[in-house]
Chains A and B, each alone.
Chain A
Amino acid sequence: VEHRKIITLFVSILLIMLLAVLTWFFVNVHIDYQFHQTRIEKIRHIQQEVSDLVRNSLLVEKGELQHFDDVAHNQQKLENMLHNIAENENTQPLISATTQIIATVTQIKSSHAIFRNSLLYFPRGVATLRAELVNSPFASIIEKLNILERDVTQLIITNSGDQSKNILNAQVDAIRMAESDLPEHLGSSIEQLLRHTRVLIEHSIKLKALNKQLLNNNVNTGVQQLLDIYQNDLQHDITEADTVRDRFYFTIFLLIAAVTFIWWKQQETKKALLEEKISADKANQAKSEFLSSMSHELRTPLNAILGFTQLLENDAEAPLNDAQKVNISYISNGGKHLLSLINQVLDLSTIESGKAELSIEAIHLSHSIENAIQLVTTLAKESDINLQVGIGPDVYIDADITKLQQVLLNLLSNAIKYNEKGGSVTIDWAITHTGFIRIKIHDTGIGIAQRHQHKVFDAFNRLGQETSVIEGAGIGLVVTKDLLELMGGTINFESEEGKGSTFWFELPLTDTNIEYSHSSIQSAIPNLFAHQDEQNLTGPKNILYVEDNSANRKLMQTYFDKWPEKVNLQMAETAEIALEILSKKQFDLILMDIHLPGQSGKDLTQMLRTHPEFKNLPIIAITAAAMKNDLSLANGLFNVYITKPLDFVYLTEVLKKYL
């Protein structure tokens, strides 16, 4: 699943990046396109301005425009435009053609002004001179003047150029020859006229050439060349934009496809996970059922072992000798240990399935510690461990008393178990500044190797002690931690290999300091009929014990044998036999095993409860089915529910109540 997620993420990122790159390309192409379009527009503007310039220049020459403002304006604009286009090999022809045309127009303006000026002067000059010559000895020059006037007019009208230039120059020279002996004022008048004539000739030819340049300018060629290139660029942009756009759409398509695919895959994964969860739940249920039945199967023989051991130990009529006592104590301890292991496994499964139930109450801490110490004293002595109870404040804490006992026993027994001969275990406690009580259990044992320390609270991990002689299932600390956390506490430790460990746990302090009374642990089975002896001397009590296991039947028989006159115990191996017995005889109380071959004890009880005869009959369940599920199912059906292995002290108290 992780692998696939990474791939889809990678593909999505890749596509988004591709999209970004394409967007970038697209923007670039768009910028290029705009740039190229602006470039074309600029060129077209130049073309337009040049055309205006040529037109205005021609209008000036035709006399239709009497000033150069428009031409000068066109020139100025063109110069600015040229300033704004980059010069390169493509634009060079246009730039030079336009520059050329500006230069041409500049010359035309100047030349036109000069030509026009002389043109104004010429007829006036001829007329004045003619008037001066008429009555002078130099009248002959008039003839030459007339020819000059005619030819100049001809030149101006036809604009015939070079041929006229030669003829006119010859005439000018002829007149100049004739003037050599003229009086000064006439001479200078003729000189003035001839100067204007030369200007007219020169500038008419010059203007003709300039106008030719103006009309045959290369601007259009330059523009066309440039436009061809620029249009090509523009076309290229459009094609590129199309390509990019296509790719863009394709990528979007891919992205949508990818997203759809990922979504579909996710749905599939969800479905698969759901199925996995369902099967996991089933497996978990199966595990619970397995544990339930296992505990039943294990507790049943254990009941026999521990029960008979108790009876042997407490049999006043046939007390054991010392050797027997020791042997029996081995059986008892082994059984107890096995029982605690089973309980631990059960606890773990209960806690982990979230079904553990707590009853948090104010607990006198030092009492709890005392009790726990008492329970491990034997173990400590056997292991030659010095058990020291340190000092600590006398406080009450909020905890579940049995769970707290379990935690303390666990940690203390660990400290003893994983210790060395002659070592010590110290327990002390103190209030933390956060309002918790911190209980420290310090040992001088083997410690936990650094490399194992992170696995201390892992289930079924014995931290390299698997092959050691020390007994354990590797779940004690897990259960301890779980229990503490359930009670709102924490646990931690410090350890150095070879030097020992310190485990500490913290639990909340009780807000109010109220004295609580505590029942002491009783070990001797009390007399069931202690009070009844004096009060009522009714006949012996009839008790029916429904139990399939013969060892358990024997155990119960032995227990009641303590009071042979007072109790009449009858047994039934199955529910069916029990029913038969019940139909024949009245009983004061029924002890009912739940797990029976055939009809279960629960079903039998349910059936009995429907009859008014048995409706109020005390029925006590005695079962190894210690799972909470079983308890909840039986709720309200039985008067009391006692789990195996039997605690006869407790059983005695229950019986006292109902008999």
Chain B
Amino acid sequence: VKPVLLILFYLLLSAALSADEPLNEPILPIADKQNSDPKLLSLGRKLFNDKRLSKDGSISCASCHALNKGGADGRTVPVGIQQQLGIINTPTVFNSSLNFKQYWDGRANNLSDQIDGPIQNEAEMGSNWPAVIAVLKQDPNYQKKFTQYFDNGITITNVKKAIVSFEHSLITPNSRFDLYLKGNKKAISADELTGYNLFKQYGCISCHQGMAVGGNLFQKLGIMKDYFADRGNITKADFGRFNVTQQEADRFVFKVPSLRNIELTAPYFHDGSAETLDAAISTMMIYQLGVEPIKSDVQLIAAFLKTLTGEYQGAGLWNTEK
């Protein structure tokens, strides 16, 4: 009798232990840690929301990277100063620190370099650094805060440091899928799990993997079928990484975007052409995976993708307006 009981006990113990054991999956949970200095971070947040950083004072970083809109603007293309339209869909600022490059074409190696873009883009904030610094220097509040943190006060580098510090805090851990990955098998439903398995079987996982579920490689749009021929009306922005490298092989190549919080960041793709998640998944299946989309599978995959919505500052982003 005793050996049987021992074996039974052992089995129960191992089951109990394995319950919370992290899973070995191609997607990694977001590490919930924040290294930013709170003071610098709050200075960065202030700058991020400050419209004076644009030429006419009408637009801040947050105008297009609205934290209540999944870190983006919900538009096909952004609207800059004087209602100018942008040329490419706004990527989310959430988890941007997890990307190995910034922008759709990856032309910035890091967040600090990325900031130069929107500030100086005529169709976005339309300003320049000397103007920005001059504006900030007029504000005694900024003077005080910068002097508190930096020896040399308000400089381009320090403004960037503050904003980057804030951006590093914009990670969204504790999505239901992350809880599942950490070992909580009940965190996602059976359908969602089926969706994840389909995600892997179809090969979505080949590109959308890692902590950000993407964001760590470039890929051509239209591997199995010519996306742009079908869509038509090709613009310079469609050339993607080609605009950076001038290599023919990089034409129509883009950074694979992260799928974290994907349900909040419609419309999708660099051209914002997909209004819904289902449409985006279908397009991906046709042009990237070379399979005919099956509606039920698409819906299951969409269900899985919605488990990737995480928390910001302890509150679930799933509560934000969609």
Stretch at the interface among B11-19, B122-130, B211-219, B296-304: B211-219
* In the complex, chain A residues whose CB is within 8 Å of the CB of B205: 66
Contacts A73-B100, A110-B219 hold; do A120 and B28 have CB atoms under 8 A apart?
Answer: no
A404 at the interface (CB under 8 A from B): no
Whether the Cβ atoms of B109 and A110 lie closer than 8 Å is no
Of A109, A110, A116, chain B has the most CB atoms within 10 Å of the CB of A110
Q: Whole-angstrom distance from the CB of A116 to the nearest CB of chain B?
A: 5
Q: For A68, list chain B residues within 8 Å (CB).
A: 209-210, 216-217
CB A107 to nearest CB in B, in angstroms, measures: 8
A106 adjacent to B218 (CB under 8 Å): yes
Residues of A contacting B253 in the complex (Cβ-Cβ under 8 angstroms): 110
Known: A72-B216, A106-B218, A192-B290. A66 touches B25 (CB 8 A): yes
Is B223 engaged at the interface, CB distance under 8 Å to the other chain?
yes
User: Which residues of chain A in 184-212 are interfacial with respect to chain B, using CB atoms and an 8 Å cutoff?
Assistant: 192, 195-196, 199
Given that A66-B209, A76-B109, A116-B203 are contacting pairs, would A121 and B290 also be in contact in the complex, using a CB cutoff of 8 Å? yes
Taking a contact as CB atoms under 8 Å apart, the answer to whether B100 and A196 are in contact is no
Q: Which residues of A contact B57 (CB under 8 A)?
A: none
Interface of A is mostly: helix
**A634 within 8 Å of B (CB atoms):** no
> For the side of the interface on A, what is the size category?
20 to 34
Partner of B210, one of A67, A76, A118: A67
Report the bound CA distance from A67 to B223 in whole Å.
Answer: 20
A71 to B216, CA, bound (A): 8
Q: How far is the CA of A346 from the CA of B200 in the complex (A)?
A: 128
**Closest B residue, CB atoms, query A188:** B292
Residues of A within 8 A of B100 (CB): 72-73, 75-76
A interface footprint on B31-74 (CB within 8 Å = 1, 0 otherwise): 00000000000000000000000000000000000000000000
Contact B28 A110 (CB under 8 A): no
Question: Are B211 and A121 in contact, CB atoms less than 8 angstroms apart?
Answer: no
B26 touches A79 (CB 8 A): no
Task: Decide if A69 touches B211 in the complex (CB within 8 Å).
Answer: yes
Instruction: Report Cα–Cα, A79/B113, bound state, in Å.
Output: 13
Whether B109 lies near A80 (C-beta < 8 A) is yes
Among A104-126, those with CB < 8 Å from B are: 106-107, 109-110, 112-114, 116-118, 120-121
Name the distance in Å between A81's Cβ and chain B's nearest Cβ.
Answer: 12
- For the A-B complex, the count of residue pairs with Cβ-Cβ distances under 8 Å equals 84
Residues 405 to 438 of chain A near chain B (Cβ within 8 Å) = none
Q: Complex: how many Å from CA A57 to CA B292?
A: 31
Q: Considering the complex, give the chain B residue whose CB is closest to the CB of A66.
A: B26
Residues of B within 8 A of A121 (CB): 203, 289-291
Residue B224 at the chain A interface, CB threshold 8 Å: yes
Complex Cα–Cα for A195 and B216 (A): 26
Closest to B220 in A: A110
Please state if B202 and A113 are interface contacts (CB–CB under 8 Å): no
Cβ of B206 under 8 Å from chain A: yes
In the complex, B207 has a CB within 8 A of chain A: yes
Q: Which of B81-103 contact A (CB under 8 A)?
A: 100-101
Could you tell me the distance between the alpha carbons of A68 and B100 in the complex, rounded to whole angstroms? 10
A72-B110 Cα distance, complex, nearest whole Å: 13
A109: chain B residues within 8 A (beta carbon): 216-218
Contact status B206-A67, CB under 8 Å: no
B224 contact from A69, A72, A195, Cβ within 8 A = A195
From known contacts A66-B25, A66-B209, infer whether A120 and B201 are also in contact, taking CB-CB under 8 Å: yes
If A67-B210, A117-B289 touch, does A110 touch B218 (CB 8 Å cutoff)?
yes
Nearest CB of chain B from residue A76's CB, rounded to whole Å:
5
Let me know if B27 is at the binding interface, CB within 8 A: yes
Closest A residue by C-beta to B109 = A79
A70 smallest CB distance to B (angstroms): 9
Closest Cβ of chain B to A115, distance in Å, is: 8
Nearest CB of A to B274, in Å: 20
Q: Which of B27, B110, B206, B218 contacts A117 (CB 8 A)?
A: B206
- Assembled-state Cα–Cα distance A109/B223 (Å): 14
Q: Can you list 27 contacts pairing A with B, beta carbon distance less than 8 Å?
A: A66-B24, A66-B209, A67-B28, A68-B217, A69-B28, A69-B210, A69-B211, A72-B100, A72-B215, A75-B100, A76-B109, A79-B109, A80-B110, A107-B249, A109-B216, A113-B207, A113-B217, A113-B219, A117-B203, A118-B290, A120-B202, A120-B203, A192-B291, A195-B224, A196-B290, A199-B223, A199-B290
4 pairs of A and B residues whose beta carbons are closest in the complex = A117-B203, A72-B216, A66-B26, A72-B100
Beyond the given A67-B27, A113-B219, please list 18 additional residue pairs across the A-B interface where CB-CB is below 8 A: A67-B209, A67-B211, A68-B217, A69-B211, A69-B216, A72-B215, A76-B109, A80-B109, A83-B109, A109-B217, A110-B253, A112-B206, A113-B207, A114-B219, A117-B203, A117-B223, A118-B290, A196-B290
Q: Point out residues on A near B: beta carbons under 8 Å.
A: 66-69, 71-73, 75-76, 79-80, 83, 106-107, 109-110, 112-114, 116-118, 120-121, 192, 195-196, 199
